[in-house]
């Protein structure tokens, strides 16, 4: 059992390290610098006026958050493959 | 150089502070610029003779002066030595975080002195029942001793951190040293809590003079110190106290009443921080993602608009965006079913899109958002596995596991859409056979077509190749989703006959669907006997995305 699951893991992790080492050689350094600040840092300025807050940016919530999840359709490889698979099954069933 | 004498007692008479008083209580910062070699000021702080009877004031004055001397001496020594070595090895001495020299922290006398400084100031604040002029100075004192003690905690393993405490034998063996440091930090926490309580319990009806204005400042400091101590119970207690006193509403009222620039100068940054800590507590410790989302959204909304305010230290502010977004994004996906517009965030919120903090937010959340939109479970599980430690470190592990359910829901919706196009115009289009969803489910988990075929069309007599071997290996049926999943991804590892596998996965799908129906994410019911999902003719999938804030 355990051997099975580890062999399954390996290709995934290998893939990940391959990807990491090749294009972004600075990922390791990124990790290091980011680990340093493990706490919420103090703001470089103490205060600012109400009108300069993000709250007062026009339609900030609509800019930040997309609300179309219920209906959004993504045209990617996965979605197309899913479609093909399901349609194929249906055809076989009707034959 | 002409010297100016400044009598500290005067401030306590006038009940007002100025820059000189703030300079008096503030320690020299551990910067290594040469300018700090110069005598810090032409001004000399004294306490007049009439005040020597005032025990509390004298204690505060003396401990402050003593602590300042300790720091000056240590810094000057450090500079001298540094200059000598500087030419030999420049890089080694890069002191990015501006730390105090370790010799200073090794002195128990120094540590006791700064603790006494805070204690004596607490007493002075307590004595002054009718005004709040000392709250900001108290915060400055408390904050700087917190910083020193947290540096001490961070550097506990430093080889040069050597205490000299006669009463404790072996006080420099690491476990004992760690214990001493922890006790220091706990003592520091107790004294800061004392400051907090002084603010919280002020009953002064004059809001302008009421010490409650310091509550947020000291709460933030308490949050920080309990995080440093990794003490969740203390955070919980603090939140209890804050909730039972309805602190936030009171603060707002007081904020409106107070117009002078005193404490308001600290205000916004602390409001952000306070909301962050509250959100972090509810989301990461209590799994109350809705409440967490409200707090974190408030925190973000109170932040300065980088387009309007020139920020001198972009990397600090970017690290703050990062902290906020790491929690806010998954909690929002989970509770509001909305997802962030990463392009907007990277271009308008972060300063410099090439910043590592910005990149990290994109790396972590872009793939998850894609899966959330497409219903791709395989990609989700893969990404999850890659970032598992990151989730754990940041307290979003639970939230991330729960997002999987929404990915599954999206998958079902996508399957349903395809089902509709195939069965357009037919009467039974509201009855979806589970084997149909099974194909989608297997596809989404990354199963090969061959395997899908094998499982879907399996009949009772079917026995898949290789299944016997497998049965020998595992007598029990595989439990747990991930295990099942890895198993039927690969044909050769089929643990059971295809028929058995099919029934098992259909059960699994039914379980997921039952959960979704119970949460009102799907309107409909399951027929286990017929292995089908019957959905509402009017609104099978109620709209879930809701506005934030």
Nearest to A43 among B269, B386, B483 (CB): B269
Taking CB atoms and an 8 Å limit, are A46 and B265 in contact across chains?
Answer: yes
pLDDT value of residue B97: 64
- Domain boundaries in chain B? 1-255, 430-546
Mutate to test the interface with B, among A82, A94, A95 (most CBs of B within 10 A): A82
Nearest to A47 among B269, B323, B375 (CB): B269
**What 3-state DSSP class applies to B200?**
helix
Contact B101, B77 (CB under 8 A): yes
Nearest to B545 among A56, A69, A90 (CB): A69
List of residues 6+ apart from B521 with CB closer than 8 A? B409, B541, B542, B544
Joined tokens for residue A45:
């300025």
Rounded Cα gap, residues B538 and B519, in angstroms: 18
Number of residues assigned to chain A: 95
List of residues 6+ apart from A41 with CB closer than 8 A? B316, B319, B320, B323
**What 3-state DSSP class applies to B339?**
strand
List of residues 6+ apart from B438 with CB closer than 8 A? B455, B456, B502, B505, B506, B509
**B543: nearest CA partner in chain A:** A70
Nearest chain A CA: its distance from B128 CA (Å): 27
Q: Name every chain B residue with its beta carbon within 8 A of the beta carbon of A81.
A: 443
How many residue contacts between A and B have a Cβ separation below 8 Å? Answer: 180
- Domain boundaries in chain A? 25-94
Q: Write b or e for each residue in A32-68: b if 16 or more Cβ atoms lie within 10 A of its Cβ, otherwise e.
A: eebeebeebbbbebebbeeebbbbebeebbebbbbbe
Q: Which among B440, B393, B391 is positioned nearest to B417, based on CA atoms? A: B440
Place of tokens 């205060």: A47
Taking CB atoms and an 8 Å limit, are A30 and B356 in contact across chains?
Answer: yes
Rounded Cα gap, residues A46 and B311, in angstroms: 11
**What 3-state DSSP class applies to B6?**
strand
Nearest chain A CA: its distance from B113 CA (Å): 25
Taking CB atoms and an 8 Å limit, are A69 and B269 in contact across chains?
Answer: no
For the CA atoms of B399, B359, B279, B150, the dihedral, rounded to the nearest 10 degrees, stands at 120
Q: What's B213's DSSP letter? A: G
Note the ipTM here.
Answer: 0.82
Q: Name every chain B residue with its beta carbon within 8 A of the beta carbon of A68.
A: 545
Taking CB atoms and an 8 Å limit, are A70 and B544 in contact across chains?
Answer: yes
Joined tokens for residue B16:
């007002």
Q: Which among B78, B86, B85 is positioned nearest to B30, based on CA atoms? A: B78
Question: Going residue by residue through chain B (549 aa), what tens digit of pLDDT does each one get?
Answer: 678 899 999 999 999 999 999 999 999 888 655 444 455 567 899 998 888 889 999 999 999 999 999 999 998 888 888 777 655 555 544 445 678 999 899 999 999 999 999 999 999 999 998 999 999 999 999 999 999 999 999 999 888 888 888 888 888 888 899 999 999 999 999 999 999 999 999 988 888 888 988 899 999 999 999 999 999 999 999 999 998 877 666 666 666 665 544 455 568 899 999 999 999 999 999 999 999 999 999 999 999 998 888 878 888 899 999 999 999 999 999 999 999 999 999 999 998 878 899 999 999 999 999 999 999 999 999 999 999 999 999 999 999 999 999 999 999 999 999 999 888 778 788 999 999 999 999 999 998 888 888 887 776 554 444 443 333 333 333 344 455 555 555 545 555 677 888 899 999 999 999 999 999 999 999 999 999 999 999 999 999 998 865
The alpha helices in A1-95, defined as continuous H runs, are 2-21, 27-36, 60-64, 77-94
Mutate to test the interface with A, among B223, B227, B269 (most CBs of A within 10 A): B269
Contact B212, B199 (CB under 8 A): yes
Q: Name every chain B residue with its beta carbon within 8 A of the beta carbon of A69.
A: 337-339, 372-373, 410, 544-545
**What 3-state DSSP class applies to B390?**
helix
Q: Is B205 exposed, middle or buried (0-12, 13-18, 19+ CB in 10 A)?
A: exposed
Rounded Cα gap, residues B474 and B127, in angstroms: 73
Residue B189: CB atoms within 10 Å: 21
Rounded Cα gap, residues B436 and B420, in angstroms: 12
Contact B303, B269 (CB under 8 A): no
Number of residues assigned to chain B: 549
Q: Which residue has the higher pLDDT, A22 or B204?
A: B204
**B307: nearest CA partner in chain A:** A52
Rounded Cα gap, residues A20 and B387, in angstroms: 13
Nearest to A86 among B322, B332, B440 (CB): B440
Rounded Cα gap, residues B150 and B154, in angstroms: 6
Contact B325, A69 (CB under 8 A): no
Q: What's B538's DSSP letter? A: S
Joined tokens for residue B314:
């972009």
Please name the helix (run of DSSP H) or strand (run of DSSP E) that holds residue A65, with its range, or none.
strand A65-66
Taking CB atoms and an 8 Å limit, are A52 and B309 in contact across chains?
Answer: yes
pLDDT value of residue B85: 67
Joined tokens for residue B541:
């999938």
Joined tokens for residue A3:
């051997």
Taking CB atoms and an 8 Å limit, are B305 and A52 in contact across chains?
Answer: yes
Please name the helix (run of DSSP H) or strand (run of DSSP E) that holds residue B534, with its range, or none.
strand B532-535
Q: Name every chain B residue with its beta carbon within 8 A of the beta carbon of A94.
A: none
Nearest chain A CA: its distance from B437 CA (Å): 9
Q: Residue B6 pairs with which residues in a beta bridge?
A: B45
Residue B384: CB atoms within 10 Å: 19
**What 3-state DSSP class applies to B43?**
strand
Q: Name every chain A residue with its beta carbon within 8 A of the beta carbon of B370.
A: 74, 76
Taking CB atoms and an 8 Å limit, are A40 and B311 in contact across chains?
Answer: no
Nearest chain B CA: its distance from A27 CA (Å): 9
Residue A85: CB atoms within 10 Å: 22
Q: Write b or e for each residue in B146-178: b if 16 or more Cβ atoms lie within 10 A of its Cβ, otherwise e.
A: bbbbbbbbebbeeeebebeeeeeeebeeeeebe
Nearest chain B CA: its distance from A3 CA (Å): 11
Q: Name every chain B residue with its beta carbon within 8 A of the beta carbon of A5.
A: 483, 486
Please name the helix (run of DSSP H) or strand (run of DSSP E) that holds residue B378, with its range, or none.
helix B377-394
Q: Name every chain A residue with its beta carbon within 8 A of the beta carbon of B302.
A: 53-55
Please name the helix (run of DSSP H) or strand (run of DSSP E) that holds residue B340, with its range, or none.
strand B339-340
Rounded Cα gap, residues B460 and B162, in angstroms: 75
Place of tokens 């807050």: A53
Taking CB atoms and an 8 Å limit, are B340 and A4 in contact across chains?
Answer: no
Averaged pLDDT score across all residues of chain A: 69
How far apart, in Å, are the Cα atoms of A59 and each of A56, B307, B340, B549?
8, 15, 14, 12
Q: Name every chain B residue with its beta carbon within 8 A of the beta carbon of A46.
A: 265-269
Rounded Cα gap, residues B254 and B242, in angstroms: 16
Taking CB atoms and an 8 Å limit, are A52 and B456 in contact across chains?
Answer: no
Q: Name every chain B residue with its beta carbon within 8 A of the beta carbon of A32.
A: none
- Half-sphere exposure at residue B452, Cβ-oriented, CA atoms within 13 angstroms: 22
**B370: nearest CA partner in chain A:** A74
Q: Residue A65 pairs with which residues in a beta bridge?
A: B340
**B277: nearest CA partner in chain A:** A40
Q: Is B529 exposed, middle or buried (0-12, 13-18, 19+ CB in 10 A)?
A: exposed
List of residues 6+ apart from A28 with CB closer than 8 A? none
pLDDT value of residue B495: 56
Nearest chain B CA: its distance from A22 CA (Å): 16
Nearest to B549 among A4, A61, A79 (CB): A61
List of residues 6+ apart from B295 with CB closer than 8 A? B275, B276, B278, B279, B282
């Amino acid at each position: 059992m355990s051997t099975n699951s580890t062999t399954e893991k390996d290709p995934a992790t290998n893939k990940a390290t391959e990807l990491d080492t090749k294009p972004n050689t600075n990922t390791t350094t990124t990790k290091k610098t980011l680990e340093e600040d493990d706490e919420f840092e103090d703001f470089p300025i103490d205060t600012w006026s109400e009108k300069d807050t993000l709250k007062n940016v026009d339609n900030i919530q609509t800019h930040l958050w997309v609300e179309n999840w219920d209906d959004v359709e993504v045209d990617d490889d996965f979605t197309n493959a899913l479609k093909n698979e399901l349609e194929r099954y249906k055809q076989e069933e009707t034959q | 150089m002409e010297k100016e004498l400044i009598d500290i007692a005067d401030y306590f008479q006038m009940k007002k502070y100025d820059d000189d008083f703030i300079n008096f209580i503030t320690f020299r910062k551990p910067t290594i610029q040469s300018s700090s070699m110069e005598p810090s000021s032409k001004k000399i702080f004294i306490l007049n003779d009439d005040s020597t009877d005032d025990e509390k004031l004298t204690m505060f004055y003396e401990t402050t002066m003593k602590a300042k001397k300790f720091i000056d001496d240590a810094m000057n020594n450090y500079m001298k030595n540094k200059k000598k070595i500087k030419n030999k090895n420049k890089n080694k001495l890069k002191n990015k975080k501006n730390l105090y020299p370790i010799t200073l922290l090794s002195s128990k006398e120094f540590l006791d002195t700064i603790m006494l400084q805070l204690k004596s100031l607490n007493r002075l604040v307590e004595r002054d029942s009718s005004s709040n002029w000392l709250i900001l100075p108290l915060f400055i004192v408390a904050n700087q001793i917190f910083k020193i003690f947290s540096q001490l905690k961070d550097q506990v393993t430093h080889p040069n951190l050597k205490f000299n405490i006669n009463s404790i034998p072996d006080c420099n063996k690491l476990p004992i040293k760690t214990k001493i440091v922890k006790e220091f930090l706990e003592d520091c926490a107790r004294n800061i809590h004392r400051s907090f309580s002084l603010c919280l319990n002020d009953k002064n009806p004059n809001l302008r003079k009421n010490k409650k204005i310091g509550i947020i400042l000291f709460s933030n400091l308490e949050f920080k110190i309990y995080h440093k101590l990794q003490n969740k119970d203390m955070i919980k207690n603090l939140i209890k106290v804050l909730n039972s006193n309805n602190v936030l509403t009171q603060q707002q009222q007081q904020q409106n009443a107070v117009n002078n620039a005193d404490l308001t100068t600290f205000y916004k940054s602390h409001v952000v921080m306070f909301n962050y800590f509250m959100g972090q507590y509810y989301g990461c410790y209590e799994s109350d993602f809705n409440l967490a989302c409200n707090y974190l959204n408030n925190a973000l909304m109170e932040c300065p608009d980088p387009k309007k305010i020139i920020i001198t230290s972009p990397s600090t502010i970017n690290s703050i965006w990062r902290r906020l977004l790491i929690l806010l994004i998954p909690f929002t996906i989970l509770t509001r079913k909305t997802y962030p517009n990463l392009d907007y965030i990277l271009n308008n919120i972060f300063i410099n899109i090439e910043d590592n903090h910005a990149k990290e937010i994109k790396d972590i959340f872009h793939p998850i958002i894609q899966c959330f939109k497409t219903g791709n479970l395989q990609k989700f599980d893969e990404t999850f596995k890659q970032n598992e430690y990151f989730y754990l470190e940041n307290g979003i592990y639970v939230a991330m596991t729960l997002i999987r359910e929404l990915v599954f829901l999206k998958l079902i919706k996508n399957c349903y859409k395809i089902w509709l196009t195939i069965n357009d115009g037919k009467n039974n289009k509201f009855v979806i056979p589970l084997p149909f969803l099974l194909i989608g489910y297997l596809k989404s988990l990354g199963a090969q077509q061959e395997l899908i075929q094998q499982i879907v069309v399996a009949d009772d007599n079917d026995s898949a190749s290789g299944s016997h071997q497998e049965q020998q290996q595992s007598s029990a049926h595989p439990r747990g989703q991930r295990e099942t999943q890895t198993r039927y991804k690969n044909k050769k590892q089929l643990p059971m006959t295809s028929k058995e596998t099919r029934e098992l996965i259909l059960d699994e799908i039914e379980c997921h669907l039952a959960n979704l129906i119970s949460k009102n994410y799907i309107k409909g019911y399951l027929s286990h006997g017929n292995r089908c999902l019957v959905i509402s003719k009017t609104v099978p999938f109620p709209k879930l995305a809701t506005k934030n804030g």
